[in-house]
Structure 1
Amino acid sequence: MNRAHPDLDSLAFLVGTWKGTGSGRYPTIEPFEYVEEAVFTPGPGKPFILYRQRTRRAGDGEPLHSESGYIRPGGTEGAELVIAQPTGIVEVHTGDLCGSRVRFRSRDVRLSPTAVEVSRVERCISVDGHTMLYRLWMAAVGQPFQVHLEAELTRV
């Protein structure tokens, strides 16, 4: 039997497969709508959650973005998130937990030589029953810190 590590109890609200829709905006791009699938899977007997996410453009299904990483318990009422993106961006976050809500703030953002400049990212995820809401803020390509993505997903 595959049981989640007991240190993951405070993050159990994230576990599952989530699907839904969202919207994106940023001063350097045209606003867009997307469909998303996010999967949070506890490591077998280990204190981490594997995270993977994919988005496609609403309407034509064109692939837009994907990322994967790990969420780990991070001390008293906290969590850590590490994400890698195929665009050459790696994010390291610490997060504050409050019930079924976590807000991750980037401690470090690293870029491959050809990646687009991103200097700061925050992610807020909240779950109410089978509904997940999230918002992502970022500072990138010379633009100030601001909302970039918002979505509502349902556990399937």
Structure 2
Amino acid sequence: MIDCCSKAGVAMTDFTPFQSLLGGALIGLSAVLLMAFHGRIAGMTGILTGVIPPLSLDWRWRAAFLAGAVLAPLLYVAAGGQIAFSVPVPTLALVVGGFLVGIGVHFGAGCPSGHGICGMARLSPRSIVAVATFMVTAFATVFVIRHVVGG
């Protein structure tokens, strides 16, 4: 459960170690199974581009992977689980952020999931540099937003 709140003017996120561990294990398992059965890397951007026309020859497993990513949280909620979160930024900020991430994915030759989960596991130098860049940029962005801009 992600619950962003304010405590003394500082945005906070609840620490959920067990849910995070389980989620990370499931993501890792899906990445390993995809590599074992299809020889493919579980990067969401690469998977998504294979189902956008023109379709790649292996579009079926890509569509199934994406459907699972969308349907799994819905099934969790239908089974009685709760997913609580708030987004403390305007929709325009989300759109601009998504656009900037898309640019980074293009120039970084992959998305954070592909580089961070699969590339790092393979000790890919390109992925190690990409993840280090993501992290430094994320730290700097949070610092600027929370301490300079005051958001």
TM-score of the two chains, using structure 2 as the length reference = 0.23
Which is greater in Rg? 2
Q: Which of structures 1 and 2 has the larger relative contact order (alpha carbons within 8 angstroms, sep 6+)?
A: 2
The structure richer in strand per residue is: 1
The structure richer in helix per residue is: 2
